[in-house]
Chains A and B, each alone.
Chain A
Amino acid sequence: MAKANPAAGWAYATPTALFVLVFFVLPILLVGRMSVSDWGLFAGNRGWNAPENFTDALENRLFWPAVWFTVKYTVVTTVILLGLALGLALLVQESSRWTSFLRTSFLVPSALGLASASLLFYALYSPQASPFPGQISFLGTPWSALWSTVALIVWRFAGFYMLLLLVGLHSIPGDVYEAARLDGASRGQTFRHVTLPLLRPSLALCTILCVTGSLLAFDQFYILTKGGPDNSTVTIVQLVYNVAFQGQNNLGRAAALSIVVLAALLIVNVLQFRGLRGKES
């Protein structure tokens, strides 16, 4: 039987293997090599310089502010987004004509690309084109720039996370609710002691997706705030981009910085998996 035919198996796996080798494994090795080399955007490789890139990257005056801002943005976005998504999911969990209209309205923004959504809000927030009355400064201060971006992200992603949580809600068997009702549980008690614990796997998935996505935020800040005002909204990925392609043009330093990001992301995800699984057992 073909199942035991390794040659045929490898033949079918070859395209995947080539893709993974050329566009994933090689770049990973190359980024490691670049991070310990003096590597200019135009000049190319000018020899080893370890560990200069790493020390330079960590001493960059924007590094710690970018880390702090990225973490702050991630916490704010995750809390608001998941809270709202859970509320929306509870609102539309029964099916009727009206709730299916609501689901569609909440989901339509998820069809847009993040860059398109950011451009839309860029016009929406602009003093000239904005439909809002008065002169509200949406992007003028660090505080308003953060919250305006969070509003954009919540608008774009709330429907998507609502859908994921809706899947979780629908997988809770009806007889569990029936049992809670017979025991005389109130609506609040049912939510706290039945819905939330049973929804934990879906909430965990949403948390991991949302935290990872927010830590790597780029498009929304690149388009909406350009990191401003006064570099107050520079995220860590934006810093990598700026070091590599704007100003410093130093690919070696950017490679070192992006390896730091990769390591931090791996640690955060291991901790999240541990924490979320730990609670389950």
Chain B
Amino acid sequence: MSRLLIRTPQVVLTGGLAIVFLFPLVWASLASVSPQAGTRQSDGWGFGNYATLATYQAGIGQYILNSTAISLLTVAFTLFASVTGGYAFANFRFPGRNALFLVTLAILMVPYATLLIPLYVLLNSLGLQNSLVGLALVLSMFQLPFATFMMRISFEAVPDELREAALIDGCGSFRALLRVLLPAAKPGLVTVGLFAFLAAWNDFITPLVLISDSDKMPLPLAVANLRGQVMGIVDYGATEAGVVVLALPCVVLFLALQRHYVRGFMSGALKG
């Protein structure tokens, strides 16, 4: 009992801090369903603000679909390029290997804005302007330094004997990749895929520059535009509902994978 009393001030302080961090999220969820003047949900609790979203321009369904397509394409492109590239860097010697790896990492050093201006012109000349595929390709390029690095170290951590045994058994290098290396590098794959998905789902400036067609906008852009919808009067209820729709998949993914995510960070530290 006395121990509890000594710890009480600390629990109150830290509990208060936790409330400060959780408050905006709880407030947005409640405010999106609570009565508020100037929104569709003006009396009583309910989902009126979500109904506003459903009928906004192309409809929230379309924007969720756009964001999902962009995110899944980005995950697919990123995994394909980083698995093949990581395999090449980890298990092969070829001329230009180090140079290519360094140039890939150099993507990290260049600001988005510096690349987006020429990319806007370049995608136009490739016929990829205003296209979800073009947007996903650019977003994958931004993911490449982290993804390639991650897959390279994941493959390097697989014992050489495993792969050599597969090769002696008559597997080609591609079958060795599929049968032996990919299963062994699963945590790396999950991390790369998750990062690519969240980055693509949440990215704002890239679609802002590259997508001008309002039917093709991803969710963050659509919710940001929604604010000036009617004669410049902002519908805050619909904005709050939009934030909930945007944040929900991210928060659910985070809570589901938190163990994996936090432990991944920690184990990295032990190795380093």
Q: Which residues of A contact B (CB under 8 A)?
A: 1-17, 19-20, 22-28, 30-31, 34, 39, 44, 88, 91, 98, 101-116, 119-124, 126, 128-129, 131, 155, 158-159, 163-164, 166-168, 170-171, 216, 218-219, 222-223, 237, 240-241, 244-245, 251, 254-255, 258-259, 261-262, 265-266, 269
Contact = CB atoms under 8 A, between A and B. Distances in A.
A5 B93 CA distance: 7
Nearest to A119: B243
B24 interface: yes
A20 B104 contact: yes
B159 interface: no
A262 B111 contact: yes
B18 A102 contact: yes
Interface string B129-148: 00000000110110010001
A210 B226 CA distance: 30
Interface of B: 11, 14, 17-18, 21-22, 24-25, 27-28, 31, 36-38, 80-82, 84-85, 87-89, 91-97, 100, 103-104, 106-107, 109-115, 117-122, 137-138, 140-141, 144, 148, 164, 167, 173, 176, 198, 201-205, 208-209, 220, 223-224, 227, 234, 236-237, 239-240, 242-243, 246-247, 250-251, 253-255, 258, 262, 265-266, 268-270, 272
Contact of A116 (B22, B37, B247): B247
Contact of B167 (A1, A39, A131, A245): A1
Contact of B251 (A102, A103, A112): A112
A113 B81 contact: no
A216 B111 contact: yes
Contact of B92 (A5, A17, A261): A5
Given A9-B97, A113-B246, A120-B243, A105 B22 contact: yes
A167 B265 contact: yes
A241 to B, nearest CB: 7
A105 B242 CA distance: 22
A19 B209 contact: no
B90 to A, nearest CB: 10
A31 B115 contact: yes
Contact of B118 (A8, A10, A14, A30): A30
Contacts of A15: 80-81, 84-85
A19 B94 contact: no
Given A9-B88, A9-B93, A122-B227, 20 more contacts: A2-B173, A2-B176, A16-B148, A19-B137, A30-B121, A31-B115, A39-B121, A119-B239, A123-B239, A128-B236, A163-B265, A166-B266, A167-B265, A167-B266, A170-B266, A171-B272, A216-B113, A241-B208, A244-B120, A269-B109
B258 to A, nearest CB: 7
B92 A20 contact: no
- Lowest 6 A-B CB distances belong to which pairs? A113-B202, A9-B92, A16-B85, A9-B94, A111-B254, A12-B88
B88 A155 contact: no
A237 B206 CA distance: 13
B130 to A, nearest CB: 14
Contact of A258 (B106, B111, B220, B268): B111
A167 B209 CA distance: 36
A13 B85 contact: yes
Nearest to B80: A15
A34 B91 contact: no
Counting chain A CB atoms within 10 Å of each CB, the highest count among B25, B120, B121 belongs to B121
B224 to A, nearest CB: 6
B7 to A, nearest CB: 9
Counting chain B CB atoms within 10 Å of each CB, the highest count among A23, A31, A244, A261 belongs to A23
B122 A30 contact: yes
Contacts of B114: 31, 258-259, 261-262
A31 B220 contact: no
B251 A241 contact: no
A9 B114 CA distance: 31
B115 A20 contact: no
B173 A8 contact: yes
Contact of B110 (A14, A91, A244, A262): A262
B250 A16 contact: no
A13 B88 contact: yes
Contacts of B140: 19
A265 B111 contact: yes
B204 A129 contact: no
A57 to B, nearest CB: 12
B239 A109 contact: no
A216 B112 contact: yes
8 contacts: A9-B92, A12-B88, A102-B14, A106-B21, A107-B262, A113-B203, A128-B37, A155-B21
